[in-house]
């Protein structure tokens, strides 16, 4: 991911971001920061970049010309999201960070003095963002704050990617208390349950403490959490058909756009897909109008929606899938013991065997540590993965190794892993894929009666 920072103080930005985790990400070329000095682009022979404000008032304003030329030197004809950091912007949040982390390139424009001439902002800025309700002396610190929050979501930047997905704000709850060695310090003992090794109990304890802390410190967030919990409860009445929406909500990925009875529209930030179910043609039409333009959809299939989506709105149905979920309490036995998280060393192997044109998607899945390989005598013979919507999939076993329980082991391994994270594991099975259906049933997953359409343009 590449960040361009347009600033009067490029050294401040580079020095501020050159240490610790972000410094290492720079060194490993997972991110790149290009700090551009706006002053280098002024046409004023004294190097001036600011002037008095028309209409009077205290202070100076950055002029349009140097800002525009610096921006053009970076973007040229390219369309790059350009963020002006300003107290007048919309508040920065984890949701915003997740959204921006999907971009390949971002430009940050840092103001100084009293701000920047409005005319250039109108021409170049796509997003106005504030880091809080207070006024700083310039935009460099806010830009650095945002770059830090976005960079840690870039695959590979954190050593343990799971932590980017589970901590504060990913499900509208604040993080639970954490402890490290020693077991006793200043007479205070680490809570016993955390030493028990019982992951179900540990997850329960953590959730309880997250809830208690959020309710006390951030009642606004807690309210949002309760709203989601109540929707999850209602979806759980038909778990097999609604598992994708339930899991998107409970894993802290979804925003509720609309929810009343069976009329539900969610937006899953992590995979940027809307999830829709509708009770009637009328409500279906209203919900579809609320879908942000250009967004793909996972739609609980209904004939009246088919007509509307395909014939009237020009959408295409790419896949029709059944949903299979593993709701049992017991972990599954894993016969094949040698299963490992794949690294980029296996990228070509995965591409050769998982036929897709979406090579960037495979790269991202591997870098985010969501693909797992089965080995026999140190040789990779199959893999399974977690899709960006959180479902299990991408299962492959080499022809010569089929019928030996490797596919079963791979999926069982992933099911156990997801259960330990507190998830309900689920998969989407393309209609007609009988062998996958058999595997799901053998492992004890329950199959939905309804199907889900993956819809896009």
Interface residues with ligand ADE (CB under 6 A) are 85-87, 130-132, 134-136, 139, 142
Residue 283 corresponds to which tokens in the numbers above? 């409500």
Task: Let me know the angle formed at the C-alpha of 428 by 426 and 431, rounded to the nearest 5 degrees.
Answer: 145
Q: Report which secondary-structure segment, H or E, holds 3.
A: strand 2-7
CA gyration radius, the chain: 25
Residue among 86 and 171 whose Cβ is closer to ligand ADE: 86
The sign of the CA dihedral 107, 108, 113, 114 is positive
Residue among 140 and 247 whose Cβ is closer to ligand ADE: 140
Count of CB atoms situated within 10 Å of the CB of 67: 25
Count of CB atoms situated within 10 Å of the CB of 54: 8
Beta carbon of residue 283, minimum distance to ligand ADE (angstroms, whole number): 40
Residue identified by tokens 């013991």 is: 337
Distance (Å, whole) CA 411 – CA 431: 19
Beta carbon of residue 87, minimum distance to ligand ADE (angstroms, whole number): 4
Beta carbon of residue 451, minimum distance to ligand ADE (angstroms, whole number): 46
Residue among 85 and 275 whose Cβ is closer to ligand ADE: 85
Beta carbon of residue 138, minimum distance to ligand ADE (angstroms, whole number): 6
Residue among 128 and 375 whose Cβ is closer to ligand ADE: 128
Residue among 139 and 385 whose Cβ is closer to ligand ADE: 139
Residue among 88 and 160 whose Cβ is closer to ligand ADE: 88
Beta carbon of residue 9, minimum distance to ligand ADE (angstroms, whole number): 13
Beta carbon of residue 147, minimum distance to ligand ADE (angstroms, whole number): 13
Residue among 49 and 249 whose Cβ is closer to ligand ADE: 49
Distance (Å, whole) CA 1 – CA 17: 15
Residue among 131 and 298 whose Cβ is closer to ligand ADE: 131
Residue 366 corresponds to which tokens in the numbers above? 């591997």
Answer yes or no: are the C-beta atoms of 263 and 283 closer than 8 Å: yes
Residue among 109 and 350 whose Cβ is closer to ligand ADE: 109
Beta carbon of residue 284, minimum distance to ligand ADE (angstroms, whole number): 40
Beta carbon of residue 108, minimum distance to ligand ADE (angstroms, whole number): 10
Question: What DSSP assignment string belongs to 30-53?
Answer: SSEEEEEEGGGG---TT---EEEP
Residue among 71 and 315 whose Cβ is closer to ligand ADE: 71
Count of CB atoms situated within 10 Å of the CB of 347: 17
Count of CB atoms situated within 10 Å of the CB of 64: 17
Count of CB atoms situated within 10 Å of the CB of 209: 17
Distance (Å, whole) CA 16 – CA 24: 13
N-to-C CA span, the chain:
26
CA distances from 331 to 197, 267, 326 (A): 15, 31, 10
Q: At what angle do helices 10-17 and 20-27 cross, to 10 degrees?
A: 100
Beta carbon of residue 53, minimum distance to ligand ADE (angstroms, whole number): 17
Distance (Å, whole) CA 113 – CA 137: 7
Q: At what angle do helices 20-27 and 140-151 cross, to 10 degrees?
A: 70
Beta carbon of residue 372, minimum distance to ligand ADE (angstroms, whole number): 41
Residue among 16 and 142 whose Cβ is closer to ligand ADE: 142
Closest by CA to 288, choosing from 272, 308, 307, is 308
Closest by CA to 376, choosing from 332, 344, 340, is 340
Q: Report which secondary-structure segment, H or E, holds 322.
A: strand 316-325
């Amino acid at each position: 991911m590449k960040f361009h920072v347009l600033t009067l103080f490029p050294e401040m930005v580079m020095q501020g971001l050159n240490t610790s985790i972000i410094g290492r990400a720079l060194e490993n070329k997972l991110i790149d920061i290009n700090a551009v000095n706006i002053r280098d682009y002024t046409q004023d022979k004294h190097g001036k970049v600011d002037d008095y404000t028309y209409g009077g008032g205290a202070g100076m304003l950055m002029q349009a010309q140097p800002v525009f030329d610096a921006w053009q030197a970076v973007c040229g004809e390219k369309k790059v999201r350009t963020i002006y950091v300003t107290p007048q912007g919309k508040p920065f949040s984890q949701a915003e960070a997740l959204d921006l982390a999907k971009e390949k390139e971002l430009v940050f424009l840092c103001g100084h003095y009293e701000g920047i001439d409005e005319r250039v902002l109108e021409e170049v800025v796509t997003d106005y963002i504030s880091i809080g309700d207070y006024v700083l002396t310039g935009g460099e610190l806010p830009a650095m704050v945002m770059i830090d929050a976005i960079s840690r979501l870039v695959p590979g930047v954190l050593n343990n990617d799971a932590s980017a997905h589970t901590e504060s704000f990913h499900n509208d709850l604040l993080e639970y208390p954490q402890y490290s060695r020693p077991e006793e310090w200043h007479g205070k003992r680490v809570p016993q349950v955390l030493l028990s090794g019982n992951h179900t109990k540990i997850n329960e304890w953590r959730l309880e403490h997250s809830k208690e802390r959020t309710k006390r410190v951030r009642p606004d967030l807690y309210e949002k959490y309760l709203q989601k919990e109540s929707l999850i409860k209602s979806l759980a009445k038909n778990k097999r058909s609604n598992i994708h929406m339930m899991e998107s909500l409970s894993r802290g990925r979804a925003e509720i756009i609309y929810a009343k009875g069976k009329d539900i529209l969610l937006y899953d930030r992590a995979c940027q897909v809307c999830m829709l179910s509708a009770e009637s043609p009328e409500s279906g039409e209203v919900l579809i109008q609320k879908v942000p333009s250009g967004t793909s959809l996972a739609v609980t299939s209904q004939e009246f929606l088919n007509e509307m989506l395909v014939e009237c709105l020009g959408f295409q149905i790419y896949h029709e899938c059944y949903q299979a979920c593993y709701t049992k309490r017991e972990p599954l036995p894993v016969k094949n013991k040698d299963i490992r998280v794949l690294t980029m060393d296996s990228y070509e192997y995965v591409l050769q065997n998982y036929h897709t044109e979406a090579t960037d998607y495979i790269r991202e899945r591997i870098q985010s540590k969501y693909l797992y390989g089965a080995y026999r005598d140190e040789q990779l013979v199959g893999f399974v993965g977690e899709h960006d919507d959180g479902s299990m999939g991408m299962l492959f076993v080499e022809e010569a190794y089929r019928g030996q329980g490797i596919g079963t082991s791979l999926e069982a391994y992933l099911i156990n892993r997801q259960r330990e994270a507190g998830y309900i594991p689920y998969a989407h099975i393309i209609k007609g894929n009988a062998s996958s259906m058999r595997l799901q049933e053998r492992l004890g997953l329950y199959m939905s009666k309804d199907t889900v359409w993956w819809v896009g343009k």
